[in-house]
Amino acid sequence: MDSILGKFKDRSAEINRLLSDPATLADRERYEKLTRELAELRPVVTAALEYDKIEAELRETDALLADKDTSGELEEMALHERGLLRERLAEMEKKIRLLLIPKDPNDGKNIILEIRAGTGGDEASLFAADLFRMYSRYAERKKWKTEVMSFSESGKGGYKEVIAMISGKDAYSSMKYESGVHRVQRVPETEASGRIHTSTCTVAIMPEAKEVDVQLDPNEIRIDVYRSSGHGGQSVNTTDSAVRIIHLPTGLVVSMQDEKSQLKNKVKAMKVLITRIKDQKEREEAKIRAAHRKSQVGAGDRSERIRTYNFPQGRVTDHRINLTLYKMQSIMDGEIDEFSQALTFAAQEEAVSGRGAA
């Protein structure tokens, strides 16, 4: 711990020296880069200085207790003070370990949300629509923008699939633990006997990728255009505006037909495709890393059942952290911060314990 903190303090001092150098001041790009780095270092350095201060006070207290002349009430006070200082030192060490966890480079990115109905037929598609509304309401509360990119409706008013872009500050950071299988237990409106059905939906949360993030070989992409089937009524397109893009090496397929413009559909489809390719690569790398240790909180395994929504009992349970909330109505209305915060904290705890002694 001391050696790592020493490096942070040394680097902070070096940057402060460089920032006062006329050569640095003349180079605006370098000056801004160093300023950003200093801002990132500051929380760790501040915590390290506080750690040093508590450690020095603890040494003084230990020295006082080691003095043969320390006895009676003074000794009792010193023992009490030592206990408090040890607690503060442990808390500060934990805080520093949290600060030393490498930041997820995707945390500040927008996301592409994909929800697909799983087992359960029409009830699964209705639940997919409920989940999409839940996330849309959550985005509204965060003052984020939600743009539906593509959707496929079921006959009962639900979604077989819905894809949307959610844009806003720290969208991925807040929603990355929503990926996985969501299970619902409730009585369908069409069930005359009042029997509870179990259905599932798969949710995928992917950080938006830019074209510079993924190198695509034009020879590895096939683009098909066809006539949009539309969503019914007057919105049916009579031109070949729908686009299907196939990435041959991975077999990933993206289809878009919501826009009447073939170009707009192509742009949307390409955006989703490169995001899926980047996400697939990152999930494969995460699986390799996870093979070396047991992971409690996952964000990439789409086959993992992560949450159950039991409507008759009004409870929602996240199975990764064994957290159950009896707030069904508010959760389905987008109040999912309690899950998000608990999952983030659990992931941080896991990261700290996984790092061991620094």
The total of other beta-carbon atoms located within 10 Å of residue 272's CB is: 23
Question: Taking a C-beta distance cutoff of 8 angstroms, is the pair 185, 312 a contact?
Answer: yes
In the sheet with 315-318, reading across from the earlier edge strand, the strands are 145-153, 159-167, 111-117, 197-207, 180-186, 305-310, 315-318, 323-325
pLDDT, tens only, 28-41: 999 999 998 899 88
- Position 294 scores a pLDDT of 47
CA distances from 169 to 105, 145, 245, 260 (A): 14, 10, 30, 30
Q: For a pLDDT cut of 70, what percent of the chain falls above it?
A: 88
- Position 238 scores a pLDDT of 52
- Residue 233 in this model has a pLDDT that exceeds 80: no
pLDDT, tens only, 118-157: 998 889 999 999 999 999 999 999 999 999 988 888 878 8
Is 178 or 290 the better-scoring residue by pLDDT?
A: 178
Find where tokens 């196939």 sit.
Answer: 246
pLDDT, tens only, 196-223: 999 999 999 999 887 667 778 888 889 8
338: Cβ–Cβ under 8 A, 6 or more apart, which residues? 323, 325, 327
- Position 194 scores a pLDDT of 77
pLDDT-derived band at 230 (thresholds 50, 70, 90) equals low
- Residue 251 in this model has a pLDDT that exceeds 60: yes
- Round the average pLDDT of the chain to a whole number and report it: 85
Nearest to 313 by CA among 173, 187, 217: 187
Is 331 or 300 the better-scoring residue by pLDDT?
A: 331
pLDDT, tens only, 63-85: 988 887 878 888 889 899 999 99
CA distances from 213 to 130, 192, 273, 332 (A): 33, 52, 12, 34
- Position 192 scores a pLDDT of 63
- Position 320 scores a pLDDT of 93
Q: Which two tokens stand for residue 190?
A: 């069409």
- Position 356 scores a pLDDT of 40
- Position 303 scores a pLDDT of 65
* Confidence (pTM): 0.68
Q: For a pLDDT cut of 90, what percent of the chain falls above it?
A: 45
Give the 3-state secondary structure of residue 240. coil
Partnered with residue 180 across adjacent β-strands are 203
- Position 93 scores a pLDDT of 86
Is 311 or 345 the better-scoring residue by pLDDT?
A: 311
Average pLDDT over residues 339-354: 82
pLDDT-derived band at 232 (thresholds 50, 70, 90) equals very low
Q: Residue 186 belongs to what H/E stretch? A: strand 180-186
- Position 89 scores a pLDDT of 92
Average pLDDT over residues 238-246: 78
| Distance in angstroms (rounded) separating the CA atoms of residues 172 and 207 | 6
